[in-house]
Structure formats: C-alpha cells, structure tokens
A and B are shown apart, each in its own frame.
Chain A
Amino acid sequence: GAGVSQSPSNKVTEKGKDVELRCDPISGHTALYWYRQRLGQGLEFLIYFQGNSAPDKSGLPSDRFSAERTGESVSTLTIQRTQQEDSAVYLCASRSTVSSYNEQFFGPGTRLTVL
C-alpha cells in the first residue's frame, strides 16, 4: 500500500510569513508524529497524535508552531511568522496501534527554507 506522503516537498518562504505543511499517514495508522531535522543534525521530536488528540505538545519549539489532525488522517503543521532558524526538513511518521510493535515509518519530508 501507499506509504506516508507529505506536501509540499519543498517550500521557500520569506521571514515573517506563515507556512503550512501537510502529512498524510499510512491508511489505518492512528498514531502520527512530526519531527524536524536541521542540516547536519539529528531528528528532533516535535509532537505526537493519537487519533485526533495530541497528548504532549512540549516538543514544539515555540508558540509559533502548532499542529492539528482531523479525521484521524491528515495532519498539518503550521509555523507562524517564520524565522531563519526554522529552516529544516520537517518529517512526518506514522505507526499502527494494532500491532504490538512501535515501528514508525517516515514520509519523504518537506524541506523548508526561510530566506
């Protein structure tokens, strides 16, 4: 079946603009995760959704970041008033909660460049 998809694949924006990143998880995966990977750095966990609820938002870097999920499917990560330090690849992953394994599968990512 189809894997995790993300859009856009690339986004270039000007400092101060808002951006919205989209993630479409593997069908049937109720758990969804957002990560950020800055150039040359490891992956940084941002937020987790179980269904449409986000039990823990403490990983979001600042109040400019928000995320939502509807219909236990698509999720959007919104960054308001973008800053240059927001430039990174934003990765989405999903996980089946039917399986006892905690394996997460990643989408191709959105490369965000803030000028």
Chain B
Amino acid sequence: QKEVEQNSGPLSVPEGAIASLNCTYSDRGSQSFFWYRQYSGKSPELIMSIYSNGDKEDGRFTAQLNKASQYVSLLIRDSQPSDSATYLCASMYSGGGADGLTFGKGTHLIIQP
C-alpha cells in the first residue's frame, strides 16, 4: 500500500517568514515527487517536482528530497498572503509515469499579514 503522509495543519506563518511543509512516503520504489498548491474550490496547481536527493530551487520555492529517510519537504521563502492554500505532496512509483500519483491529504497553510 503506497502512502503519503502530511500534517494536515493548519500551519500558520507570519508574512515574510519561511514556511516549511513536510511529507513522508511509504514506498521505497517511488521515484518522482511533486508539490501541488490547491486553493479552496480550485484544482491542484503544480509548484515543484523533484527526482534526485538534495535541494531544488525555483524562485521562492525550494523542494528537498531525502530518499534514505523517505522524506520530502517544501520551503517557501518570503511568504505572502497569496501563498495561503492547501499544499499537496505526491509521489509516483514508476519512472515511466505508468502509475498515477499517490497524494497526501494536504497541509493547510495560512500566511498571516
């Protein structure tokens, strides 16, 4: 059973601070990892993808992957009120993309002005 676990929150962070979101996954065969942002009533929007151990930076976002610990994280620097949303962590087992994504239930992030 492939599982992705996230703290549901809410995680409250002051504007301008760093928001740190975490997720763990159960299947060591997972090869690809993704962070999606979902605003209330909207569909998921891809924020970051990561495939190798280490850090990957894109603007204010940094994704971190540690396959030995089966741990994925997302850091949001200089948090803005518009970053308030639910963040979904997802994993994919097959490198060929033949499997669907396994999603966590999401962490609700609130950025306080």
| Chain A positions near chain B (C-beta within 8 angstroms) | 31, 33, 35, 41-48, 50, 55-56, 59, 89, 91, 95, 97, 101-109
Shortest Cβ distance from B43 into chain A, in angstroms? 4
Kindly identify which residue among B97, B102, B104 contacts A45, using a CB–CB cutoff of 8 Å. Answer: B102
A43 engages B34 (CB within 8 Å): no
B49 engages A48 (CB within 8 Å): no
Max chain B CB contacts within 10 Å: which of A42, A46, A48, A89? A42
- A102 partner residues in chain B, CB cutoff 8 A: 32, 49, 92, 95, 97
15 more contacts with CB within 8 A, not counting A97-B97, A104-B46, are A35-B101, A42-B105, A43-B90, A45-B99, A46-B100, A55-B98, A89-B43, A95-B97, A101-B32, A101-B49, A101-B51, A102-B92, A103-B46, A103-B49, A106-B43
Interface of B is mostly: loop
- B97 partner residues in chain A, CB cutoff 8 A: 31, 95, 97, 102
B98 engages A41 (CB within 8 Å): no
Interface of A is mostly: strand
B100 engages A50 (CB within 8 Å): no
Shortest Cβ distance from B66 into chain A, in angstroms? 19
Pairs A-B, 10 closest by C-beta atoms: A45-B100, A42-B105, A43-B103, A102-B97, A106-B43, A42-B103, A102-B32, A109-B43, A106-B44, A108-B43
- A42 partner residues in chain B, CB cutoff 8 A: 88, 103-106
A41 engages B105 (CB within 8 Å): yes
Kindly identify which residue among A43, A89, A108 contacts B101, using a CB–CB cutoff of 8 Å. Answer: A43
B99 engages A48 (CB within 8 Å): yes
Q: List 5 A-B contacts (CB under 8 A).
A: A42-B88, A45-B101, A55-B98, A91-B44, A103-B46
Of all chain A residues, the one with the shortest Cβ separation from B105 is A42
- In the complex, whether B60 has a CB less than 8 A from a CB of chain A is no
- B105 partner residues in chain A, CB cutoff 8 A: 41-42
Considering the chains assembled together, what is the distance between the CA atoms of A104 and B88 in angstroms? 13
Kindly identify which residue among B45, B49, B100 contacts A106, using a CB–CB cutoff of 8 Å. Answer: B45
Shortest Cβ distance from A89 into chain B, in angstroms? 8
